[in-house]
């Protein structure tokens, strides 16, 4: 694994006695979104499961938006028989924020089986958000059967290729990437050469001081390739972003919160609004994790876990904000 | 050195014997194929994000049925385009009749780490 020396742990506010000098990963499953705040050109991500502990003054920034992910509308198994209710709860939590985010970002797996009625239900729930703009990227569940045709008809207006695009908000350059189509047998997530060329051209004209936020469904870093939690050609994409001082990468897919810092790049994954998935390698497969009903809805199922894998130091997330 | 040659010699004999038994087995297998030709079927179960058995050998004419026993949808997609299922939700099945001999690698297009193959003889 490259760049180990640049890995670092940002905070340790949890005071939970876990040895954070070693290789550490904190993760949480909370069924909520994350509030992302751009502060001095650096993106910070706060799990809404701890919104009651937030210090609004400390969190003020030049731009804030909310990330939600993996709503899996249509899923109805034991791990969460009512994914519409938990998505609504996530939207309610966002609506209750003192300062409303400028927009919402959905990092994919909007639907469970890419059925029209599943997308309809999500659209209807998201119309209840105070923030009116929602930006999407597809998850692999959203492109089942048609390689994303329906997804692009619904959400892909003004996008290029398989649905990738970029936009500016308050001086921040946002890039939505698609890494869930044309997947190869035995492989991971895939961006493809056409998208990589587009990305290179898209950022070429930008000043190095421009804060960059990249979002895509499958992690753009190797979280756990054994379970497909990574993207085959993500290194190529990141190489185009080397000149920038502040790069934040937001992903979903793994249904748990993780964060990693590598040089100028901070990687974040978001929790699912639908159901939790196990920690990497801690189960036979990455299938849905069944937790007691009261825990599923309590939004407090935060777990910090020591996780050792190779030479990677994985840092916090979701720190307390006292 | 003599000992080593002796071992190689013994190993050769064992391999030859194994080959003979394997040959005998194939004769029996061929007879079995003839009997099963009426309606040969075989099953592949999808459990914990994997195909079981991962590799399956069947006679020509066999109908192979995949059943998804996970809480997450999967697909069964031939790498060379010979067959392609829709999304299989929990307990959904997909069947394909293999009428030509050959090796058919396949994967789940949603979770491409999941791979398998059907060998048709």
Bond from prior residue into A215 cis (ω within 30 degrees of 0): no
Cβ within 8 Å, pair A227-B113: yes
What DSSP element (H or E) covers A307? Answer: none
Cβ within 8 Å, pair A184-B87: no
Can you name the residues that pair with A25 across neighbouring β-strands? A305
How confident is the model over A155-192, as pLDDT tens digits?
Answer: 999 999 999 999 999 889 999 999 999 999 999 999 99
Across the A:B interface, residue pairs with CB atoms under 8 Å apart total 58
Same domain for B58 and B19?
no
Nearest to A79 among B71, B75, B115 (CB): B71
Spell out which residues of chain A touch residue B109, defining contact as CB-CB under 8 Å: 144, 183
Model ipTM value: 0.77
Same domain for B53 and B90?
yes
The residue of chain B nearest to residue A146, with distances taken between CA atoms, is B86
* Cα A180 to Cα A255: distance, rounded to the nearest angstrom: 16
* Cα A52 to Cα A45: distance, rounded to the nearest angstrom: 15
Summarize the confidence of residues A219-241 as an average pLDDT: 95
How confident is the model over B106-115, as pLDDT tens digits?
Answer: 999 999 999 9
Same domain for B27 and B47?
no
Cβ within 8 Å, pair B110-A144: yes
Cβ within 8 Å, pair A141-B110: yes
Q: Is the pLDDT of residue B105 over 70?
A: yes
Same domain for B19 and B76?
no
Least Cα distance to B116 among B90, B71, B79, B74 occurs for: B79
How many angstroms away from the CA of B56 is the closest CA of chain A?
17
Q: What is the CATH number of domain A4-306?
A: 3.60.21.10
Cβ within 8 Å, pair B70-A285: yes
Yes or no: say if A311 and A124 are a contact pair by the CB < 8 Å rule. Answer: no
How many angstroms away from the CA of A212 is the closest CA of chain B?
29
Q: Is the pLDDT of residue A25 over 80?
A: no
- At B29, the pLDDT band (50, 70, 90 cuts) reads very low
Spell out which residues of chain B touch residue A188, defining contact as CB-CB under 8 Å: 112-113
SS3 content of chain A, % helix, strand, coil (to 5): 25, 20, 55
Same domain for B30 and B65?
no
- Identity of the highest mean pLDDT range in A82-86, B6-10, B60-64: B60-64
Least Cα distance to A7 among A240, A256, A229, A221 occurs for: A221
How many angstroms away from the CA of B32 is the closest CA of chain A?
33
Token output for A266: 């901070």
What pLDDT does residue A294 have?
60
H helices present in chain A, as ranges: 56-59, 83-95, 116-126, 149-155, 193-204, 234-239, 293-298
Token output for A77: 């198994």
Q: Is the pLDDT of residue A311 over 60?
A: no
Q: What is the pTM of this model?
A: 0.79
The residue of chain B nearest to residue A142, with distances taken between CA atoms, is B110
Yes or no: say if A38 and A172 are a contact pair by the CB < 8 Å rule. Answer: yes
Can you name the residues that pair with A119 across neighbouring β-strands? none
Per the structure, how many domains does chain B have?
2
Same domain for B81 and B49?
yes
What pLDDT does residue A296 have?
62
- Host domain of residue B63: 41-120
Q: How many CB atoms lie within 10 A of CB A121?
A: 19
Token output for B68: 């998804």
* CATH number, domain with residue B98: 2.60.40.420
Cβ within 8 Å, pair A185-B72: no
Q: Going by DSSP bridges, is the β-strand pair A24-28/A165-169 parallel, antiparallel, or unpaired?
A: unpaired
Yes or no: say if B115 and B46 are a contact pair by the CB < 8 Å rule. Answer: no
Least Cα distance to A34 among A250, A297, A264, A216 occurs for: A250
- At A35, the pLDDT band (50, 70, 90 cuts) reads confident
């Amino acid at each position: 694994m490259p760049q180990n020396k640049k890995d670092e742990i940002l905070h340790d506010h949890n005071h939970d006695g876990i040895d954070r000098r070693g290789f550490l990963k904190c993760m949480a499953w909370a069924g909520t979104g994350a509030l992302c705040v751009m502060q001095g050109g650096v993106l910070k991500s706060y799990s809404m499961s701890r919104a009651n502990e937030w210090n609004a003054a400390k969190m003020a920034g030049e731009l804030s938006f909310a990330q939600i992910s993996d709503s899996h509308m249509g899923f109805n198994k034991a791990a969460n028989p009512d994914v519409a209710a938990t998505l609504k709860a996530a939207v309610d939590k966002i609506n209750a924020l003192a300062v409303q985010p400028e927009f919402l970002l959905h990092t994919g797996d909007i639907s469970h089986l890419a059925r029209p009625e599943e997308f309809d239900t999500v659209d209807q729930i998201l119309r209840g958000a105070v923030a009116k703009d929602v930006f999407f990227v597809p998850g692999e569940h959203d492109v089942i059967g048609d390689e994303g045709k329906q997804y692009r008809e619904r959400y892909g207006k003004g996008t290029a290729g398989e649905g990738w695009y970029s936009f500016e908000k308050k001086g921040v350059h946002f890039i939505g990437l698609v890494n869930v189509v044309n997947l190869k047998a035995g492989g991971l997530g895939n961006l493809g050469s056409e998208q990589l060329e587009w990305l290179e051209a898209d950022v070429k004209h930008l000043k190095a001081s421009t804060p960059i936020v990249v979002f895509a469904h499958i992690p753009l870093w190797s979280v756990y390739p054994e379970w497909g939690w990574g993207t085959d050609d993500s290194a190529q994409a990141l190489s185009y972003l080397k000149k920038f001082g502040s790069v934040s990468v937001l992903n979903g897919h793994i249904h748990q919160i993780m964060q990693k810092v590598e040089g100028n790049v901070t990687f974040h994954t978001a929790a699912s609004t639908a159901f939790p998935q196990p920690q990497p390698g801690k189960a036979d497969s990455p299938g849905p994790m069944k937790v007691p009903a009261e825990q599923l809805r309590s939004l407090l199922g935060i777990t910090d876990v020591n996780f050792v894998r190779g030479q990677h130091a994985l840092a916090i997330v979701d720190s307390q904000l006292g | 050195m003599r000992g080593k040659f002796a071992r190689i010699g013994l190993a050769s004999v064992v391999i030859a014997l194994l080959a003979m038994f394997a040959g005998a087995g194939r004769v029996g297998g061929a007879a079995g194929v003839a009997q099963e030709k009426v309606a040969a079927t075989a099953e592949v179960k999808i459990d914990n994000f994997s195909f079981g058995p991962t590799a399956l050998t069947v006679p020509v004419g066999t109908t192979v049925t995949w059943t998804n026993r996970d809480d997450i949808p999967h697909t069964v997609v031939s790498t060379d385009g010979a067959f392609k299922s829709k999304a299989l939700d929990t307990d959904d099945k997909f069947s394909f009749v293999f009428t030509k001999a050959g090796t058919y690698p396949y994967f789940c297009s949603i979770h491409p780490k999941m791979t398998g193959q059907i060998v048709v003889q």
